[in-house]
Amino acid sequence: PPPEAISPLPSERQLAWHELEFYAFVHFNMNTFTNMEWGFGDESPELFNPTELDCRQWARVCKEAGMKGIILTAKHHDGFCLWPSEYTEHSVRNSPWKNGEGDVVKELSEACKEYGLKMGVYLSPWDRNHADYGKPEYITYFRNQLRELLSNYGDIYEVWFDGANGGTGWYGGANEERRIDRTTYYDWENTRKIVRELQPQACMFSDAGPDIRWVGNESGWAGETNWSILKRDEFAPGVVSDVKFLQHGQIDGTHWLPAEVDVSIRPGWYYHPSEDHKVKTLPQLLDIYYNSIGRNASFLLNLPVDTRGLVNENDVQQLRKLSEAIQADFADNLAFGKDVTASNTRGNSKSYKPENVVDNDPQTYWAADDGTVVSSVTVDFKEATEFNRFLVQEYISLGQRVKEFTLEAFVDDEWKQIDSQTTIGYKRILRFPNVVATKVRLNIKDVKACPVISNIEVYKAPKVLLEPQITRSK
Ligand code: IPT
């Protein structure tokens, strides 16, 4: 029989989400036109006036970069709505853009469909425009808006609930907003039911999920140790007791709650002309790729669409460099179809044979007998082979199991340790200096239950040539 699953386990919608790995955030809204990050909510809708808005350009750029979806800030903290909501005057309807006839959410949903991308929405719980914010009436308003977004724009794959709220001083100082109690005010339980009812496949993001968790920083990394499980009930959106739990997950987590790395390609989330020369460099972007996707998290890369309504040329250029580098790094899987042996195979059964890790089929896996802790899988190249990347995946439908492992290479008739790490999860990618070896070995040293490995890939990534950094005086 197959290994017993160890809970907590991912839901179907979480399993589908894991496979997306790389997708875009677009911060584009009133702040774009006021050159702000957190608007006050008193901005005139007249200010929203992109000159060349083209959601198809966003979609094309994201598709070409290998991204799988786009999440749009439909409403940010200033309360301005990119769609003509029935419940407020503070929207595109009262802007000069398309004489108030436009709907950015609709245009993006059509562009995503055309380019085969998934669409997600960000709806800020904190609203500095709405007169009733802080009172029960606002919750009704918030839910009405959520219903509009989840009913009128086709399939939504992710709903993003930002915990940011100046009113409690976690991030901001004193301000004019009514103070709210983040754990109780939003009555999340009932808001989440609306998402489940209208978009059963959608994953919800927040510090506390329920489907995807914040990674605890906005600078582009997950912890090296990264469990996809968390004691979810001890967290609430915007109430961060200790970010290290979000960065690393919790080995004794009660719910499947994988991490998403949200980070902007520029210093700010919104477009600021002063940051045109501060777009992240290729080495920075590659580090983020390996420190998110390579550490069992997803990579949500923000593109601050500019005042024209386009992804700026500088951002397009850097994104193109990143996608070319990723393609080059993972061009040729040196482990594919090679001979593989294992220290032990479950019931000596063909169903769980070690070759399953190099067959390019995510549904097959190598598994060891129950009770196995220390164990290994060896890929035999049969000839001296140079490589510098090792990718490994657990079959997470049966739970996250590996607690500690090392990687070894067979060099000059000797096993040489290349790396020593903790968790694997959905995907782990190790980077190390080039090594020439005839075999590579995954040594599992500690597990929660017998190891179940679905995939191993080995690559020789080209060297990254350092770009001249454009720096400006501080
Ligand atoms: C931070 C929120 O507090 C947190 O709940 C989460 O939504 C996160 O943003 C997403 O990046 S606020 C930020 C200014 C650190």
Going by CA atoms, what residue is nearest to atom 9 of ligand 1? 164
Q: What tokens does 470 get? A: 């454009």
> Could you give the percent of the chain with pLDDT greater than 70?
95
pLDDT beyond 80 at 159: yes
DSSP characters over 327-385: HHHTS--TTTT-EEEES--GGG-GGG-GGGGGSS-TT--EEPPTT--SEEEEEEEEEEE
The secondary element (H helix, E strand) that includes residue 259 is strand 259-264
Confidence at 439, pLDDT banded by 50, 70, 90:
very high
Instruction: Check residue 167 and give its pLDDT.
Output: 56
Output the residue whose Cα is nearest ligand 1's atom 4: 163
Residues whose CB falls within 8 Å of the CB of residue 194, separated by 6 or more in sequence, listed in order: 143, 146, 147, 150
- In single-letter form, the type of residue at position 253 comes to G
Count of H helices and E strands in the chain? 9, 17
> Residue 125 Cα, ligand 1 centroid: separation in angstroms?
12
At residue 148 the predicted structure's pLDDT band, cuts being 50, 70 and 90, is very high
Report pLDDT for 469: 53
- pLDDT band per the 50, 70, 90 thresholds, residue 474: very low
How far is it, in rounded angstroms, from Cα 349 to Cα 126?
55
Cα angle value 78/82/84 (rounded, 5°): 110
Question: pLDDT band at 240, cuts 50/70/90?
Answer: confident
Mean model confidence pLDDT for the chain: 95
Please count the other Cβ atoms lying within 10 Å of the Cβ belonging to residue 388. Answer: 18
Query: What per-residue confidence (pLDDT) applies to 242?
Result: 85
For residue 170, pLDDT beyond 70: no
| pLDDT value at 391 more than 50 | yes
Q: Which two tokens stand for residue 360?
A: 């390019």
Q: Whose CA is nearest to atom 5 of ligand 1?
A: 163
Which of 105, 117, 115 has its CA nearest to residue 152? 105
Q: Which residue has the tokens 């386009």?
A: 310
CA 162 – ligand 1 centroid, Å: 6
pLDDT at 435 over 80: yes
Write the single-letter amino acid at 350: K
**206-216 pLDDT per residue, tens:** 999 999 999 99
Top mutation candidate among 162, 240, 243, 292 for ligand 1, by most atoms within 8 Å of CB: 162
Q: Whose alpha carbon is nearest atom 10 of ligand 1?
A: 162
pLDDT value of position 118 = 98
Q: What are phi and psi of 198, to 5 degrees?
A: -85, -30
pLDDT, position 468: 55
pLDDT at 178: 60
Q: How high is the ipTM of this complex?
A: 0.94
Give the max Cα distance, the chain. Answer: 74
Residue 96 scores a pLDDT above 80 = yes
Give the pLDDT of residue 467.
Answer: 61
Closest ligand 1 atom, residue 163 Cα: 5
Nearest CA to ligand 1 atom 12: 164
Grouping H, G, I as helix, E, B as strand and the rest as coil, residue 81 is strand
- 3-state class of 285 per DSSP? helix
Given the structure tokens 């070896």, which residue do they identify?
437
Q: Of 126, 175, 218, which is best to mutate to test ligand 1, by the most ligand atoms within 8 angstroms of its C-beta?
A: 218
pLDDT of residue 172: 38
> What angle, rounded to 10 degrees, do the helices at 55-64 and 104-115 form?
40
- Please report which confidence band the pLDDT of residue 464 belongs to, taking 50, 70 and 90 as the band edges: confident
| Cβ atoms 128, 41 nearer than 8 A | yes
The per-residue pLDDT for range 35-89, each reduced to its tens digit, is 999 999 999 999 999 999 999 999 999 999 999 999 999 999 999 999 999 999 9
What's the average model confidence in pLDDT over 148-171? 84
Tokens 């702000």 found at: 36
What are the pLDDT digits (tens) for 35-44? 999 999 999 9
Amino acid at 228: S
Instruction: Report the pLDDT value the prediction gives residue 166, as an integer from 0 to 100.
Output: 65
Between the alpha carbon of residue 314 and those of residues 67, 190, 278, 279, the distances in Å are 18, 42, 9, 7
Handedness of CA 183, 184, 190, 191 (dihedral sign): negative
Distance CA 16, CA 14 (A): 5
Q: Which tens digit of pLDDT belongs to each residue from 264-304? A: 999 999 999 999 999 999 999 999 999 999 999 999 999 99
314-326 CB burial, b ≥16 within 10 A, e <16? bbbebbebbbebb
- The alpha carbon of residue 94 and the mean position of all alpha carbons in its chain are separated, in whole angstroms, by 34
The more confidently predicted of residues 183 and 474 is 183
CA 166, CA 176: separation in Å to the nearest integer?
A: 9
User: Which is more confident, 373 or 164?
Assistant: 373
pLDDT at 173: 38
Q: Taking residues 254-261, what's their average pLDDT?
A: 98
- With a pLDDT cut of 90, the percent of the chain lying above it is 91
Rounded to an integer, the average pLDDT of 112-135 is 96
What's the confidence (pLDDT) of residue 174?
38
Whether the per-residue pLDDT at 228 is higher than 70: the answer is yes
Which atom of ligand 1 is least distant from the CA of 239? 5
Domains identified in the chain and CATH numbers:
16-329 (3.20.20.80), 339-459 (2.60.120.260)
Indicate the range of 112-116, 164-168, 383-387 predicted with least confidence. 164-168
Q: Which residues contact 201 (CB under 8 A, 6 or more apart)?
A: 13, 16, 155, 157
Show the ligand 1 pocket: residues with CB < 6 angstroms.
Answer: 162-164, 170-171, 207, 214, 218, 237-238, 262
Protein residue with least CA distance to atom 6, ligand 1: 163
**Cα→Cα distances 391→154, 430, 472, Å:** 35, 6, 37
As a whole number of angstroms, the distance between CA 167 and CA 62 comes to 34
Please give the structure tokens belonging to residue 383: 């000839």
At 180 the pLDDT is 82
Angle between helices 188-198 and 136-151 (to 10 degrees): 20
